[in-house]
Amino acid sequence: MKKNLFSSIYQAEKTSKKKIRSGTFKWLNSAAEDGFTSNKNLIDLQNIKIIPRILSKNQNITLKSKVFGTEIDCPIILCPMGHQTQFSQNGEISTAIGSYEEKILSFFSTQGRIGFDQIRKKVPNLKMIWQIFPFGKKEWIESQIKIAEKNRSLALCFCFDASVRSHRYIERETNYDARKYGKRLFPVSPDPSQALQYDWEFLRWAKQKTSLKIIPKGLINLNDINKCVNLGIKNLWISNHGGRMFNSGITAVDILKKIQHLRGKNTIFVDGGVRKGSDILKYLCLGANYVGIGRPAMYGLINGGSSGVSKIFKILKSELKTAMYNGGFKSYKDMRIDRLIF
Ligand SMILES: Cc1cc2nc3c(=O)[nH]c(=O)nc-3n(C[C@H](O)[C@H](O)[C@H](O)COP(=O)(O)O)c2cc1C
């Protein structure tokens, strides 16, 4: 472990800015149009207050859980993120090694530069999940499902909220094209235009093609969530893609408040705007089972490769535990919405 990499997520962001080309850093932090939704993710979390409690006899905190037939140590997970070799030479492999050091459930995507099988070879014991963008005909999707199955993906995630490239004002100004930077060991998806041709039949079809549990990512509409539930999909990923794709103004906080009835029945994944331990605690009180880390993991990768990634998770884990000790939380049972003020 490299010493003195950084001591907070905020510092990691600042120092990573100095370590890579300015266009790449701006691309990492950029979001749809003027970035309103991306900022809103941070603001909505910031605006929630947590009600602490005293004398909770909470010396023995437990954060273990079981999902997809395996035990997970903590609810902090790595979001799927594409194009990681822009940030560090070995991109997804370094991220996977760093995540493995902290035993983090990790997602990798078909928009990445290194394939799932290549990552699996380097990190044989990482608990990981392959995410497929619907950027090709069904035969191609099926080939990716087979890769996931063969390489012990714990489930199968689909990205449904990024059909076309968004307009990002920052990228227009810098004229930065992420596809031109960083090495590529995994071929580009065959036909992104397919994404606009699929409807709900796609999920019914996918369910029949695999015994892996399906996690649709990008759910931010209550009707869509209900449709998933009616299709028997138990795992739901509430996300606005870090505000990078659609400047909707809707955040995961808005939606989690409205799906309290699914607590205990469905497994809820969430992401967007997490920069500190108390943010994670807020999402957990809102009913999330797993909380995804996006950009911060890449700040870690830029700063120190795999060591930087593991340091990010180490910091967040420690901050979450400390927030639990000082806030009077012992376990998931204490994480209820009535511990929050909006
Ligand atoms: C560089 C980058 C690449 C991303 N690529 C993907 C992707 O391939 N699939 C996906 O579902 N989301 C992708 N996302 C969105 C993240 O999975 C996640 O939803 C978002 O980053 C969470 O917000 P945060 O960055 O504030 O933590 C990407 C985000 C970033 C920053």
Q: Quick: pLDDT tens for 289-301.
A: 999 999 999 999 9
User: How confident is the model at residue 36, as a pLDDT?
Assistant: 98
Specify the residue with its C-alpha closest to ligand 1, atom 29. 81
In sequence order, the β-bridge partners of residue 156 are 130, 214
Specify the residue with its C-alpha closest to ligand 1, atom 14. 81
User: How confident is the model at residue 23, as a pLDDT?
Assistant: 96
User: How confident is the model at residue 5, as a pLDDT?
Assistant: 87
Specify the residue with its C-alpha closest to ligand 1, atom 1. 28
User: Which stretches of the chain score pLDDT less than 70?
Assistant: 1-3
pLDDT digits (tens, 9 = 90+) for 234-283: 999 999 999 999 999 999 999 999 999 999 999 999 999 999 999 999 99
Mutational pocket test of ligand 1: of 36, 39, 219, 244, the residue with most ligand atoms within 8 Å of the beta carbon: 244
- Most distant CA atoms of the chain, gap in Å: 58
The SS3 of residue 102 is: coil
- Tell me the residue type at 149: E
Specify the residue with its C-alpha closest to ligand 1, atom 3. 81
Residues 6+ apart with CB under 8 A from 286: 253, 256, 257, 270, 337, 340
- Give the CATH number of domain 9-51+63-336: 3.20.20.70
User: How confident is the model at residue 148, as a pLDDT?
Assistant: 98
Specify the residue with its C-alpha closest to ligand 1, atom 31. 295
Which residues surround ligand 1 with Cβ inside 6 Å?
A: 28, 41, 79-82, 109, 111, 131, 159, 217, 239, 241-242, 244, 271-274, 292-295, 298
Ligand 1 centroid to residue 239 C-alpha, Å? 9
Ligand 1: nearest atom to the Cα of 161: 11
Residues 6+ apart with CB under 8 A from 24: 86, 87, 176, 178, 181
pTM of the model: 0.98
User: How confident is the model at residue 110, as a pLDDT?
Assistant: 98
- Domain residue spans of the chain: 9-51+63-336
User: How confident is the model at residue 4, as a pLDDT?
Assistant: 74
